[in-house]
Amino acid sequence: MRVNEIFYSLQGEGHHTGTPAVFVRLSGCNLRCPFCDTEYLAGTEMSEEEIAARVAEWPSPWVVVTGGEPSLSLTPSLVDALHHRGKSVAVETNGTRPLPHNVDWVTLSPKELYVGEAGRVVLDRADEIKVVYDGEHEPDTYSHIEAPWRYLQPCDTGDPVRNRIIVQQTIAYVKAHPLWRLSLQTHKLLNIR
């Protein structure tokens, strides 16, 4: 399995913000989102046992498998290996492909609004939906997906002026649509990894 990086930090987004977690970033993605801030092409080949052993080096019981797009390579056997080491496994996915059945938490971050048909979501449920909001696209496009938690996250465009406008638009949207909650990229605000 090709792994971009494995590191220990705090979850910076969504429902588990502030929770210590081991992040396993898998290489590769099936989408090319215009705002992507992740270097996901590089990586090192690692066996599932090597990945699980590395994750076990840190004390957090929480593992976040992300990418790129983790559904391209995540297997039920890797999830089992992480469970065997006492870890709960969360996955952050664009939802365009099925996930292993034994994942503990699914964060669906759909991108169809930005990349068109290539980003069509095939998942019909998730533990949380986290939509990157640019102030222009309608997040309720995903209202048919079952999820107890819905987060709207201001898009980081790299332009401080545009970002301030998007944050204000996101706050206004959440206030007008109270089924949504605001999610900030706190790891960026705090300058932590």
By annotation, the residues acting in catalysis are 23, 29, 33, 36-38, 92, 187
- Tell me the backbone φ, ψ of residue 81, rounded to 5 degrees: -65, -35
Cα distances (angstroms) measured from residue 94 to each of 12, 119, 127, 131, 153: 17, 7, 13, 10, 14
Helix axes 76-84, 48-55, angle to 10 degrees: 30
